[in-house]
Amino acid sequence: MDYHLSLNWPDFIERYWQKRPVVLKRGFTDFVDPISPDELAGLAMEDEVDSRLVSHHEGKWQVSHGPFQSYDHLSENNWSLLVQAVNHWHEPTAALMRPFRALPDWRIDDLMISFSVPGGGVGPHLDQYDVFIIQGTGRRRWRVGDKVPMKQHCPHPDLLQVDPFEAIIDEEMEPGDILYIPPGFPHEGYSLENSLNYSVGFRAPSGKELISGFADYVLQRELGTHRYTDPDVPAREHPADIVPQELDKLREMMLEMIGQPEHFNQWFGEFISQTRHELDVSPPEPPYQADEIYDALQQGDKLVRLGGLRVLRINGDVFVNGEKIDSPHRPALEALASHIELNAEHFGDALEDPSFLAMISALVNSGYWFFED
């Protein structure tokens, strides 16, 4: 199904993006749920899928992690089932992510879906990333507070909740409504009836993650082997002192590594194109031969990108799930990164190059793209 988002993106970015929360009434008109509660519950029973059950009773919170064997023990009130990265495992839900490609692909993370019974929610909390929460079936009340210092407490180790707050948004949301919340704004939602919510989350790497990731890249490639030298060792009053000139030189050694575009771009492409959750990779059996893929495309078949697969571009170089794709056919690579569905016209003359066809075959046989049924 195609979802059409009624949103003026330039106006939204200027007024709201990373600035203040907003409710977008009827952001999706005539909204249809791409998944049922039973299908969501079935996914949460799979080993590879990241899921949680959150419940509360008389102020006491409980969190359990999937996979789940049964739901028979649950009451009719005050619990939520949350399933992460559903777009990786359920192809129809991946269509909900596409209207948000007005924002950069590298910033979009995954689709978390929750099913809640009356009173279900996770309590007041903060997120450190942007999120669009789409209301599906049912009604849910959302409260959002202003971005002020909030004290976190842990009624349960898995729930980093915050103290009660004064709401700047207090809204009952209905199917197709969207709540946008920037990082740092406290919020809480609870269901008024059985309801589905779809949370489009965004990736916001921390400085710690970036430094750690780049350090791993340096170590794997045995870079940075140049050692500190000081042929003109500066004088100092006390032998124990490390003088400013030495600190500057050490800092410059480290910054020089990050300052090399060829290494920084290669690292970041590999780093940011990796998924944080498992993919539903199903390599075809038997594997496709290159001529079979050529014939299928020429006959009008379409290749569809696997849900959740991250395909990103830096200065014309394309990265797929942590690996750089080497090919001189830049227009075809651009199509690979830009389009979810691909046909022979997108690839053009590149399909006549055996090396390009072998590369496409390897991607298909890895389960990253598949032919549309």
Domains of the chain: 9-202 (2.60.120.650), 207-259 (no CATH), 290-371 (3.40.366.30)
CA separation for the pair 209, 110 (Å, rounded): 18
Q: With 0.75 as the threshold, say if the pTM is over it.
A: yes
CA separation for the pair 64, 78 (Å, rounded): 14
Q: Can you say how many angstroms the Cα of residue 109 is from the centroid of all Cα atoms in its chain? A: 1
* Cβ count near 254 (within 10 Å): 11
- Predicted confidence at residue 155, as pLDDT, reads 67
CA separation for the pair 331, 318 (Å, rounded): 11
Neighbour-count burial of 31, counting CB atoms closer than 10 A to its CB (0-12 exposed, 13-18 middle, 19+ buried): buried
9 DSSP assignment: H
| Contacts of 324 by beta carbon, 8 Å cutoff, 6+ apart | 266, 269, 270, 317, 318
- Predicted confidence at residue 154, as pLDDT, reads 67
pLDDT digits (tens, 9 = 90+) for 271-292: 999 999 999 999 999 999 999 9
Alpha helices in the chain (DSSP H): 9-15, 37-43, 91-94, 207-220, 244-258, 261-272, 290-298, 330-338, 344-347, 354-365
Cα dihedral value 29, 38, 99, 111, nearest 10: 140
- Predicted confidence at residue 158, as pLDDT, reads 74
348 DSSP assignment: G
| Contacts of 58 by beta carbon, 8 Å cutoff, 6+ apart | none
Residues of the chain with pLDDT under 70: 150, 152-157
CA separation for the pair 214, 208 (Å, rounded): 10
